[in-house]
Amino acid sequence: AVGERWSFLILRAAFNGLAHFEEFQATLGIARNILSNRLVRLVEHGILQRVPDDTDRRRVAYRLTDKGRALLP
């Protein structure tokens, strides 16, 4: 999952504090369908987790799991 195109850049952005779909999309300039696919794969592999946003329950935040944080060198 980490070796897929864009996944590493998504993880780097998550390490730098980005958590919302719109933030990833605006910062990386990645197509929405590809971003959605990569986020789903990273969640499936336990690297990211989807959590309801504290400020707006309609939004979802992506947070690094322990497994995801372990990828930071």
pLDDT-based confidence at residue 73 (cuts at 50, 70, 90): confident
Is this structure's pTM higher than 0.85?
A: yes
Q: Residue 37 pLDDT more than 90? A: yes
For the residues 11-31, what does the mean pLDDT come to?
A: 95
Beta bridge partners of 49: 63
For the residues 33-40, what does the mean pLDDT come to?
A: 96
